[in-house]
């Protein structure tokens, strides 16, 4: 039996399946099956299912208790391939890919929808491209053409790795959505009560917030709404203090009795509105928080979640993430992921040598370039990655450049390419749109017209030899993109490898946040899971970046409560 099969939902509720040959074309008859789940269950030897959209098919398989080994998501691959080819804006649906292949009119993509609170994974939306059926033979044609397009990529093998890894990521995301994050509503309520005090009838502010608001008003000598920035700025002005904003870092530099209760209010207010009682009501069911993870969320390849703010859970609220009885959470955090990735992609000898050890990377960098000052070393590295151009950043960057010239040159070159509107790619070939990181050309930025090129068209003072602010924003974006995006490439491989190991266990991947993964497993599996994470990290490092000395160590904690991991 061929290892690759293609699958397409058919009109009338059934599904078509067929075996694929090495060229990606049909290698057998198209078989009509009445039931999707049975069609997959009866073919356990299939090692990779090719389908149009993981989100369309896989939740239904999971709901029936079925998992697949691998998949290939045609529409996700289409997005990555279009980007690699410098055609970011073009419609990405399988129907659009087919139309391009055949030279017909290309249908536009549907507008994206967001999930309602607590909604299960979405399937079909009437009128969207998702509901326009693409016959199986046509889908296979698109797939075969995509295989040929991989061959024309800058690095074909890396591109194949990228689309395969992102498809694996989509399986992981669907499985996480299915599993949910263990969540104790009782603990959450206890934390809220401890921080915010009693709730008053009518849905107004809880006791602690009301008290802090009174303290703020008392400090100003008049009624002030601490949740309204304009009101706060006016109150400070009346007290003879000019502030440009009410951001915490700006407030904290002021000497005024309102500052302490104001900062405390803003912190608790945030928890109340974003992760308070109504959040609990909306997002937690039967002991699980179910956000919708999406493995294809951002330009850089980082994931996003839809609903529930799952990637922004405040540290104090993590006390509510509690393993089931007899189970544990294995919380694994990649150590200094971004500089290690920078070492791997730049091949800077000094940085690779430092990143070849599991010990604290920033400490080692500081000993080579910053007289042992770890904080300065960390700021310098992050400044290089984020494009910091002021203050101590410049001085630190110079020190970094002396000792790690290739690493700094790598991100500098990415920034230059971004400013000049050239394509910038991650290590595996994910490609940044040429205009990303700035507003659309021709629109306005901060009320000032933005020019369409680097000729200083933003109306501000033009310095010869330097790019416009719009172009510089693109440069910063591109500089960060190569590191953040290549890190995302690596984490996809990591998740894919970890998923394969966990497939033989009861363990479930339940959470992923850029450089951190949580596995929920029976107590007796924790040792195996910890080992699996280490092995997956090594494997992902070799597969993604090839032969380098760079290592990717993890800090792992086996806990019953997420908050105890830090």
Residue 510 three-state SS = strand
Q: How far is the CB of 250 from DNA (least distance, A)?
A: 8
Q: Which residue has the tokens 């294809």?
A: 296
Q: How far is the CB of 167 from DNA (least distance, A)?
A: 20
Residue 505 three-state SS = coil
Residue 15 or 565 with smaller CB distance to DNA: 565
CB 406 within 8 A of CB 349: yes
Q: Phi/psi of residue 332, each to 5°?
A: -120, 125
Q: Which residues fall within 8 angstroms of residue 105, CB to CB, at 6 or more apart?
A: 99
CB 132 within 8 A of CB 91: no
DSSP annotation of 525: G
Q: Which residues bind DNA (CB under 7 A)?
A: 114, 227-230, 233, 245-248, 266-267, 270, 273-274, 279, 297-300, 302, 304-309, 311-315, 379, 382-383, 386-391, 393, 436-437, 446, 460-461, 466, 469, 472-473, 476-477, 480-481, 484, 513-516
Residue 184 or 306 with smaller CB distance to DNA: 306
Q: How far is the CB of 43 from DNA (least distance, A)?
A: 35
**Ramachandran region, residue 429 (left: φ > 0; alpha: ψ -120 to 50; beta: rest):** left
CB 381 within 8 A of CB 400: yes
Residue 15 or 342 with smaller CB distance to DNA: 342
CB 418 within 8 A of CB 477: yes
Residue 270 or 542 with smaller CB distance to DNA: 270
Q: How far is the CB of 561 from DNA (least distance, A)?
A: 15
Q: How far is the CB of 433 from DNA (least distance, A)?
A: 10
Q: How far is the CB of 555 from DNA (least distance, A)?
A: 12
Q: How far is the CB of 381 from DNA (least distance, A)?
A: 10
CB 424 within 8 A of CB 482: yes
Q: How far is the CB of 162 from DNA (least distance, A)?
A: 18
Residue 44 or 309 with smaller CB distance to DNA: 309
Residue 307 or 451 with smaller CB distance to DNA: 307
Residue 243 or 505 with smaller CB distance to DNA: 243
Residue 291 or 541 with smaller CB distance to DNA: 291
Q: Which residue has the tokens 């070799």?
A: 542
CB 537 within 8 A of CB 344: no
Q: How far is the CB of 183 from DNA (least distance, A)?
A: 16
Q: How far is the CB of 436 from DNA (least distance, A)?
A: 7
Residue 103 or 126 with smaller CB distance to DNA: 126
Q: How far is the CB of 303 from DNA (least distance, A)?
A: 9
DSSP secondary structure, 368-437, as one string: HHSTT-HHHHHHHHHHHHHT--STHHHHHHHHHHHH-HHHHHHHHHHHHHHHTT--EE-TT--EE-TTTT
Residue 49 or 512 with smaller CB distance to DNA: 512
Residue 228 or 506 with smaller CB distance to DNA: 228
CB 299 within 8 A of CB 82: no
Q: How many angstroms separate the CA atoms of 325 and 327, rounded?
A: 5
Residue 155 or 302 with smaller CB distance to DNA: 302
Burial tier of 496 (Cβ tally within 10 Å: 0-12, 13-18, 19+) = buried
Query: 130: which 2 tokens?
Result: 């998702």
Terminal Cα distance for the chain, rounded: 48
Residue 137 or 563 with smaller CB distance to DNA: 563
Instruction: Give the bridge partners for 306, in sequence order.
Output: 292
CB 459 within 8 A of CB 193: no
Residue 155 or 260 with smaller CB distance to DNA: 260
Q: How far is the CB of 550 from DNA (least distance, A)?
A: 18
Residue 282 or 523 with smaller CB distance to DNA: 282
Establish how many alpha carbons lie within 13 A of residue 423's alpha carbon, considering only the half-sphere containing its beta carbon. 14
Q: How far is the CB of 120 from DNA (least distance, A)?
A: 16
Q: How far is the CB of 2 from DNA (least distance, A)?
A: 38
Q: Using H for helix, E for strand and C for coil, what is the string for 428-493?
A: CCCEECCCCCCCCCCCEECCEECCCCCCCCCCCCCCCCCCCHHHHHHHHHHHHHHHHHHHHHHHHH
Nearest to 478 by CA among 525, 410, 537: 410
Nearest to 282 by CA among 303, 310, 304: 310
Q: Which residues fall within 8 angstroms of residue 403, CB to CB, at 6 or more apart?
A: 350, 365, 368, 369
Establish how many alpha carbons lie within 13 A of residue 201's alpha carbon, considering only the half-sphere containing its beta carbon. 0
Q: How far is the CB of 209 from DNA (least distance, A)?
A: 12
């Amino acid at each position: 039996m061929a290892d690759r099969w293609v699958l397409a939902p058919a009109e009338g509720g059934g599904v078509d399946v067929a075996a694929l040959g090495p060229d990606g074309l049909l290698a057998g008859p198209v078989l009509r099956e009445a039931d999707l789940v049975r069609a997959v269950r009866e073919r356990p030897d299939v090692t990779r299912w090719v389908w149009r959209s993981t989100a369309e098919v896989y939740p239904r398989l999971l709901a029936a208790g079925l998992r697949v080994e691998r998949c290939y998501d045609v529409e996700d691959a289409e997005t990555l391939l279009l980007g690699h080819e410098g055609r970011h804006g073009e419609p990405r649906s399988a129907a659009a890919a087919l139309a391009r292949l055949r030279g017909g009119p290309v249908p536009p993509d549907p507008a994206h929808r967001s999930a309602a609170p607590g909604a299960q994974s979405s399937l079909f939306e009437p009128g969207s491209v998702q509901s326009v059926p693409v016959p199986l033979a046509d889908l296979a044609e698109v797939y075969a053409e995509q295989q040929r397009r991989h061959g024309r990529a800058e690095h074909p093998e890396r591109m194949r790795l990228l689309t395969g890894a992102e498809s694996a990521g989509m399986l992981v995301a669907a499985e996480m959505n299915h599993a949910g994050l263990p969540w104790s509503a009782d603990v959450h309520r206890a934390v809220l009560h401890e921080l915010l005090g009693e709730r008053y009838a009518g849905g107004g502010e809880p006791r602690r917030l009301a008290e802090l608001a009174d303290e703020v008003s008392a400090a100003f000598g008049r009624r002030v709404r601490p949740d309204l920035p304009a009101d706060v700025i006016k109150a400070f002005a009346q007290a003879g203090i000019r502030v440009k904003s009410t951001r915490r870092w700006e407030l904290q530099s002021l000497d005024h009795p309102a500052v302490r209760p104001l900062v405390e209010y803003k912190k608790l207010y945030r928890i109340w509105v974003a992760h308070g009682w109504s959040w609990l009501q909306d997002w937690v069911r039967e002991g699980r928080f179910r956000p919708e993870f999406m493995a294809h969320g951002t330009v850089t390849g980082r994931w996003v979640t839809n609903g529930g703010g799952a990637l922004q859970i405040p540290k104090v609220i993590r006390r509510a993430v509690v393993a089931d009885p007899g189970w544990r959470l294995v919380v694994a955090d990649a150590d200094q992921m971004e500089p290690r990735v920078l070492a791997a992609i730049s091949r800077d000898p000094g940085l690779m040598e430092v990143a070849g050890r599991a010990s604290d990377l920033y400490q080692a960098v500081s000993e080579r370039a910053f007289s042992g000052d770890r904080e300065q070393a960390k700021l310098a590295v992050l400044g290089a990655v984020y494009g910091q151009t002021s203050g101590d950043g410049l001085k630190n960057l110079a020190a970094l450049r002396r000792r790690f010239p290739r690493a700094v040159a790598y991100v500098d070159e990415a920034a230059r390419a971004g400013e000049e509107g050239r394509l910038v790619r991650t290590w595996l070939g994910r490609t940044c749109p040429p205009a990303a990181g700035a507003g659309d050309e021709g629109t306005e930025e901060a009320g000032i017209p933005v020019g369409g090129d680097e000729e200083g068209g933003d109306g501000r003072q033009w310095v010869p030899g330097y790019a416009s602010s719009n172009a510089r924003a693109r440069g910063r974006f591109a500089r960060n993109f190569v590191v953040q995006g290549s890190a995302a490439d690596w984490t996809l491989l990591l998740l894919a490898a970890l998923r394969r190991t966990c497939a033989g266990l009861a363990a479930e991947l339940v959470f992923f946040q850029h450089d951190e993964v949580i596995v929920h497993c029976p107590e007796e599996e924790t040792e195996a899971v910890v080992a699996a994470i280490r092995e997956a990290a090594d494997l992902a490092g070799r597969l993604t970046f090839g032969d380098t000395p760079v290592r990717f160590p993890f800090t792992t904690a086996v806990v019953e409560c997420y908050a105890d991991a830090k």
